[in-house]
Amino acid sequence: MSEAAGQCRICSGPLKLAFAGTHGGASSDNFTPTYHGTGEHGDLFICRECATVQQPSLPGGDALHDLYRDMSDDGFLDEEEGRRVTAGRLLDLVAAHKPHGTLLDVGCGHGVLLDEAHKRGYDATGLELSAVSARHAREDYGLDVHEVALESFEPGDRRFDVVMLADVIEHLENPVSALDRCFELLADGGVLCVVTPDPSSRTARLAGSKWWGYIPGHMCLLPRKTLRELLAARGLVISEDVPLVRTFTAGYWLNGMAERSGAVGSAAKLVAGALGSKRSFTLSLGDERVILAHKVRPREPQHKLVPDRGGEKKIHIVLPAYKASATIPTVAKEIPVGAADRALLVDDSSPDDTTGVALQEGFDVIRHPSNRGYGANQMTCYTRAILDGADIVVMVHADNQYDPSLVRKMVQPIERGEADVVIGSRLLEDKAIAGGMPRWKWVGNRFLTWAENRAFRTGFSEFHTGYRAFSADILREIPFLRNSDGFVFDQEIFAQLVDRGARVQELAIPTRYFLEASSVSFTRSVEYGLRTLVVLARFRIDERRNRWALVRRPAASLRAPGGPPTPVPAGAPVSSPGADPDGHSGPPAADGPPGPTGV
């Protein structure tokens, strides 16, 4: 490891060299959006913990800002038509949640996306350091553009319904502080749109050193799961996570490929010259993500079912819910209100009146902007509870499949300091079939539990229960925000707990299966079982190779009480100071043919 590499800018983890650089120094010419000189960068390092790829040799602070202020990209608008189409797609995603309101475009460049937003009726403001680009946006498009860095922008009390961070975060010296600042600038209910290259993508791994993302101007390239973790740790709720789809002329696509394709590149250049700007192509290389994250505040009921008891230790009951309007009243009646300090229900965008019924029954409620899955729901539950000051978090299903009256027993071992985690087991006394569990599910549960005990070297009676209690401290120690959005989240978090040496106790609970309780189909159960086996395999492989990001340390710290981390004050510099979330410790050496970028 180079001595100059230092620590990871995201998580302070150790860095290792990923690709040696050939670039002699940063300049405003090679910082332009259309510059894609292959390999012309400084040494690229990857974090052993969070897998962020970074270029520590780039200047920081005012020196970095000056490079962007002097930047001029004459060729950027040659592809204006395609860039407008691409910008329109991004705005379509945003408009599904926020069709109008105030919009801030950070790093707006020549103003193409900002102009499209203005045409759609948004009250649009842009930030751009490049004097040439900012002048074009103001004079040619008549836009409101400020030549200041994000951390220096002073909007007073104004907050924005939409903040766009498109092809920007990878250029910043401190992406974490930038996300804090964006959080501060968002209005309640606002949407943050982040577009950035993904070094953990299959395309990036195949392309190796010739991937288009490895260029002089990129300082920090965040893997998809690390970016999601950073967003969620701020209390933001993710609604969309999709590949970016771009539109460029055939000539532009082919020229980009030709720059990185050796002998094939000559033929590609000839074809590019023949096609020129005659035809446009729309495609995604799968190596750049669009993530929408919402600033969602919990809704409070008129009368709380579980009021704060005023004690020192705070216990929060969290209820993941989907289409649970029929069972919520029963669950509410069975919750021992004196055993906790809050009851928060997270509605995963149910089509029924789950939110309304929950509020009527006295639950605090967060409603996901879109349906994300059982794992994503748990991430919101645990994150929100910790950010709001919980010391112990106990999960109760809103479908009444688990007995809510046992909450007090579930948390007692944690309160006494005897356990970090308590799981309610239907198989500890094994009356599951008598309680209505289908026999095929009982067999599957038994088999997978046997396999997990072998892989984890444990002796639990059941791993596939949704009744769990955690200390907030143990949740802070594991990167659960990198886990899957689906059901296999449960097994991933077990792998993390075992890896951390968490103290786990079991409590015998009754089995409840009935018509209204949510139940997974046979096909989805088989898929879940196969995914569980993959988790076990990766856990055991990691014991030898130390490469699985799900058992590395978290990139973001969950801070409590009082909500998300303290935002960066206006005027404070966004400059200061992993394993790959897809299971790779570094980019592979293979080369491949990626294409160009730039909205």
Question: DSSP secondary structure string, 21-32?
Answer: -------SGGGS
pLDDT bucket at 219, cuts 50 / 70 / 90: very high
Q: State the pLDDT confidence band at 532, using cuts at 50, 70 and 90.
A: very high
Rounded percentage of the chain residues whose pLDDT exceeds 90: 71
Residue 291 structure tokens = 């993530």
Asked if 73 and 80 count as a contact pair (C-beta separation under 8 A), the reply is no
Q: Residue 523: its pLDDT value, please?
A: 83
Same domain, 382 and 274: no
Strands 288-295 and 44-47, bridge-based pairing: unpaired
What's the pLDDT score for residue 250? 81
Residue 500 placed within a domain: yes
Q: Give the pLDDT of residue 545.
A: 82
Would the pLDDT of 577 be above 50? no
pLDDT value of position 85: 96
C-alpha 105/C-alpha 114 separation (Å) is 6
Instruction: Give the chain's domain count.
Output: 3
**Is the model's pLDDT at 521 over the cut of 90?**
no
At residue 278, the pLDDT reads 63
Domain identity same for 266 and 343: no
Q: Which pLDDT does position 516 carry in this prediction?
A: 52
Better-predicted residue by pLDDT, 585 or 111: 111
Backbone angles phi, psi at 201, to 5 degrees: -70, 160
What's the pLDDT band for 463 if we cut at 50, 70, 90?
Answer: confident
460 and 347 fall within a common domain: yes
Model pLDDT, residue 168: 96
In this structure, of 380-389, 391-400, 539-548, the range with the lowest mean pLDDT score is 539-548
Same domain (yes/no): 331, 423: yes
What pLDDT score does 279 carry? 80
Task: Tell whether the model's pLDDT for residue 119 goes beyond 70.
Answer: yes
pLDDT of residue 224: 96
* Residue 598: per-residue pLDDT: 36
Residue 398 is assigned to a structural domain of this protein: yes
Q: How confident is the model at residue 281 (pLDDT cuts 50, 70, 90)?
A: confident
What integer pLDDT is reported at residue 25 of this predicted model? 72
pLDDT at 265 over 60: no
Residue range of the domain that includes 54 = 3-69
pLDDT surpassing 80 at residue 489: yes
Looking at the fold, whether 366 and 403 belong to one and the same domain comes out as yes
The one-character DSSP state at 250 is: H
Asked whether residue 273 falls in the same domain as residue 356, the answer is no
Q: Are residues 13 and 96 in the same domain?
A: no
Report yes or no on 214 lying in a domain.
yes
How large a percentage of the chain has pLDDT more than 70? 84
Nearest CA to 386 out of 339, 342, 424 is that of: 342
The reported pTM is: 0.88
Residue 422 and residue 123: Cα distance in Å, rounded?
50
pLDDT tens readout for residues 131-150 = 999 999 999 999 999 999 99
pLDDT for 310 beyond 70:
yes
Give the pLDDT of residue 434: 47
Position 563 in a domain: no
Structural domain contains residue 62: yes
584 found inside a domain = no
- Residue where a domain stops, chosen among 551, 574, 591: 551
Domain boundary among 260, 295, 330: 295
Q: Which of 231-240, 331-340, 495-504, 559-568 shows the lowest mean pLDDT across its residues?
A: 559-568
Q: 69, 94, 125 — which closes off a domain?
A: 69
**Residue 558 predicted with pLDDT over 90:** no
Q: Is the pLDDT of residue 229 over 80?
A: yes
CA distances from 160 to 98, 186, 370, 557 (A): 11, 5, 21, 26
> Which span out of 5-14, 472-481, 565-574 was modeled with the highest average pLDDT?
472-481
State both tokens at 213. 């993302």
Of the ranges 100-104, 109-113, 209-213, which one carries the lowest mean pLDDT score? 209-213
Q: What is the CATH number of the domain that holds 243?
A: 3.40.50.150
| Residue 108 token pair | 């707006």
Q: Which pLDDT does position 440 carry in this prediction?
A: 62
Mean pLDDT, the chain, rounded, equals 86
If asked whether residues 188 and 291 sit together in one domain, one would say yes
| pLDDT over 70 (residue 594) | no
Tell me, what CATH number does 407's domain have?
Answer: 3.90.550.10
389 and 433 inside one domain = yes
DSSP state of 14: B
Does position 302 have pLDDT exceeding 50, yes or no? yes
pLDDT for residue 82 is more than 80:
yes
Per-residue model confidence (pLDDT) at position 573: 35
For 375-393, what is the mean pLDDT?
A: 97
Put the strands of the sheet holding 315-321 in their side by side order: 364-367, 342-347, 315-321, 392-395, 468-471, 421-425, 504-508
Does residue 576 form part of some domain? no
pLDDT at 275 over 70: no
Q: What pLDDT is attached to residue 581?
A: 38
Q: Is the same domain home to 329 and 265?
A: no
* Rounded CA separation 449/461 (Å): 7
Q: What is the 3-state secondary structure (H, E, C) of 386-444?
A: HHCCCCEEEECCCCCCCCHHHHHHHHHHHHCCCCCEEEEECCCCCCCCCCCCCHHHHHH
Q: Are residues 365 and 279 located together in one domain of the fold?
A: no
Contact 104, 299 (CB under 8 A): no
- Asked whether the predicted pLDDT for residue 567 surpasses 50, the reply is no
Residues 64 and 139 in one domain: no
- Does any domain span residue 577? no
CB 18 within 8 A of CB 45: yes
What is the reported pLDDT for 29?
Answer: 85
Strands (E), 151-274: 160-166, 186-197, 220-221, 236-243, 246-249
Which residue did the predictor score with more confidence, 596 or 468? 468
- The mean pLDDT value for 83-100 works out to 97
From residue 114, alpha-carbon distances to 10, 123, 145, 158, 282 in Å are: 29, 10, 9, 18, 21
177: tokens are 């502080």
Q: Which of 253-267, 306-320, 425-439, 549-563 has the lowest mean pLDDT?
A: 253-267
Cα–Cα–Cα angle for 31, 573, 567, nearest 5°?
Answer: 120
